[in-house]
């Protein structure tokens, strides 16, 4: 009989198999046991029919990966510790010194910072293209171009590009196109199948998704995913992902698994409230412009209509306003501070509404032609009721005069 300590470590009890409950459970491990040395030698860490090491997958991460593939219509998925890590993983896996990456001028800011920082230092060049001008994208693709990033709608200013045209342009040039799919979340449109019934399917090569936003839904998890349909491309990304040692925490993965079933309903609720507020904001005299893809005057509205309203539909939970130039930055700051339900904070996708003023002039190569000059404020609409949020905006606008 072994000592008590040893018995507690090597306890013989096994719970009965077949436990079934709404949540798939949390499996936590660095080490996983092999049944024999022979099995250890035969198991391939890349093969998802077995377990080799926590870094390479557990029942919890495999389950989340498969559900995210279903959400986005992909075939394979990698999990990483943040949305930005997903962007970086794609760059590191696909680009080498001498290559060039093209990035839309309205891309998620830190994606541009990565290009201007590490990628540049490693001899990988970048160019920004106009997301609303297909000819500009086509003209910037050269023999050095390996990867084109796409984003629909664009960050902060929410222009909706001709995504199908952009993908066709990349395919024609033989370069990879990767979509930051955080806004669409796999719901507004199908990134790997953009045109219903098209044969062969028209789709991006890779999606990255900040699971931090809608899939987590709580503002309490940081995670990202990289989804593909091409097995060879996936394997290239997976090898890089392994060598970089990227892993996610089991409790965080469980947090996303728990929130995933309500994602479509939450997305719809964010969307409904956001459209109400955007329409209301249009009537207000304080704003020079309201930016939201479902508003007819918003840049790329036609593309949004064609792509998203044909699909499950949706326009996410973000809208921005540009204050009339007469309002000084300090007045706009006062407005933001006066909001009570809208909290001042980054990110989006959780239950609490958020507000953030942006200095767009510092974020774009030049001031976009379709935008009026003025201070831009972005709202991330949470799950509060529209009437309460509208009243909050109205009371804070009163502070401007």
Ligand X SMILES: *Cc1c(COP(=O)(O)O)cnc(C)c1O
CB of 337 to ligand X, least distance (A): 23
Q: Which is nearer to ligand X, 51 or 368 (CB)?
A: 368
Residue 171 CB burial class (10 angstroms; 0-12, 13-18, ≥19)? middle
**Nearest residue to ligand X, scored by beta-carbon proximity:** 83
C-alpha–C-alpha distance, residues 298 and 376, integer Å: 15
CB of 351 to ligand X, least distance (A): 17
By CB under 6 A, the residues from 159 to 188 that bind ligand X are 180, 182
Place of tokens 């377990």: 51
CB of 316 to ligand X, least distance (A): 10
CB of 81 to ligand X, least distance (A): 8
What angle (nearest 5°) sits at the alpha carbon of residue 112, between those of residues 106 and 113?
140
106 sits near ligand X (criterion: CB under 6 A): no
Inter-CA distances, 132 with 18, 227, 310, Å: 53, 25, 20
259 sits near ligand X (criterion: CB under 6 A): no
CB of 239 to ligand X, least distance (A): 22
108 sits near ligand X (criterion: CB under 6 A): yes
Count residues binding ligand X (CB under 6 A): 13
155 sits near ligand X (criterion: CB under 6 A): yes
C-alpha–C-alpha distance, residues 275 and 96, integer Å: 43
Strands annotated E in 211-367: 224-228, 287-291, 318-323, 343-344, 354-358
Q: Which is nearer to ligand X, 51 or 378 (CB)?
A: 378
By CB under 6 A, the residues from 76 to 105 that bind ligand X are 82-84
By CB under 6 A, the residues from 202 to 231 that bind ligand X are 210, 212-213, 222, 224
Q: Which is nearer to ligand X, 68 or 222 (CB)?
A: 222
Q: Which is nearer to ligand X, 130 or 180 (CB)?
A: 180
Instruction: Please check whether residue 57 is in contact with residue 48, taking contact to mean a CB–CB distance below 8 angstroms.
Output: yes
CB of 268 to ligand X, least distance (A): 19
Residue window 301-340: x/- pattern of binding to ligand X, with contact defined by CB under 6 A: ----------------------------------------
What's 186's DSSP letter?
A: T
C-alpha gyration radius of the chain = 23
Q: In what order do the strands lie in the sheet with 145-151?
A: 76-80, 224-228, 206-210, 176-180, 145-151, 100-104, 125-129
Single out the residue of 277, 13, 171 nearest to residue 163, CA to CA. Answer: 171
CB of 108 to ligand X, least distance (A): 4
CB of 9 to ligand X, least distance (A): 37
C-alpha–C-alpha distance, residues 373 and 366, integer Å: 12
65 sits near ligand X (criterion: CB under 6 A): no
Inter-CA distances, 297 with 45, 120, 140, 182, Å: 51, 37, 28, 23
Footprint on this chain of ligand X (rule: CB under 6 A): 82-84, 108, 155, 180, 182, 210, 212-213, 222, 224, 347
């Amino acid at each position: 009989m072994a000592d008590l300590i040893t018995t507690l470590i090597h306890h013989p009890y096994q719970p009965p198999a077949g436990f079934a409950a709404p949540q798939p459970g949390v499996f936590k491990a660095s080490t996983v046991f092999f049944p024999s040395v022979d099995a250890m030698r035969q198991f391939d860490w890349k093969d998802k029919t077995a377990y080799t090491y926590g870094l390479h997958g557990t029942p919890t991460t495999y389950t989340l990966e498969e559900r995210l593939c279903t959400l986005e219509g992909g075939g394979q998925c990698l999990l990483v510790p943040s949305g930005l890590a997903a962007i970086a993983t794609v760059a590191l896996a696909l680009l080498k010194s001498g290559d060039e990456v093209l990035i839309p001028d309205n891309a998620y800011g830190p994606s541009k910072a990565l290009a201007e920082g590490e990628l540049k230092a490693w001899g990988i060049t970048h160019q920004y293209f106009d997301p609303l001008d297909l000819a500009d994208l086509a003209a910037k693709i050269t023999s050095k171009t390996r990867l084109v990033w796409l984003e629909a709608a664009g960050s902060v200013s929410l222009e909706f590009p001709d995504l199908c045209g952009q993908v066709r342009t990349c395919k024609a040039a033989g370069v990879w196109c990767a979509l930051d799919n955080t806004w669409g979340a796999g719901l507004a449109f199908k990134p790997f199948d953009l045109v219903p019934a098209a044969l062969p399917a028209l789709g991006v090569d890779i999606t990255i998704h900040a699971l931090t936003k809608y899939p987590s839904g709580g503002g309490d998890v940081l995670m990202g995913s990289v989804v593909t349909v091409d097995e060879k491309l996936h394997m290239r990304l997976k090898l890089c992902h392994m060598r970089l040692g990227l892993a996610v925490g089991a409790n965080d993965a469980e947090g996303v698994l728990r929130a995933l079933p309500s994602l479509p309903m939450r997305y719809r609720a964010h969307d409904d409230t956001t459209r109400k507020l955007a329409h209301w904001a249009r009537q207000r005299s304080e704003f020079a412009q309201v930016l939201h893809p479902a508003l007819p005057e918003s840049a790329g509205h036609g593309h949004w209509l064609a792509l998203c309203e044909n699909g499950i539909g949706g326009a996410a939970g973000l809208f921005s306003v540009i204050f009339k130039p007469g309002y000084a930055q300090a007045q706009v700051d006062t407005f933001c501070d006066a909001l009570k339900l809208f909290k001042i904070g980054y990110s989006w996708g959780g239950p609490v509404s958020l507000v953030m003023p942006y200095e767009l002039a510092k974020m774009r190569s030049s001031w976009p032609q379709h935008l009026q000059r003025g201070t831009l404020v972005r709202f991330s609409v949470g799950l509060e009721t529209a009437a309460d949020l509208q009243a909050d905006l109205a009371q804070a606008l009163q502070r401007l005069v």
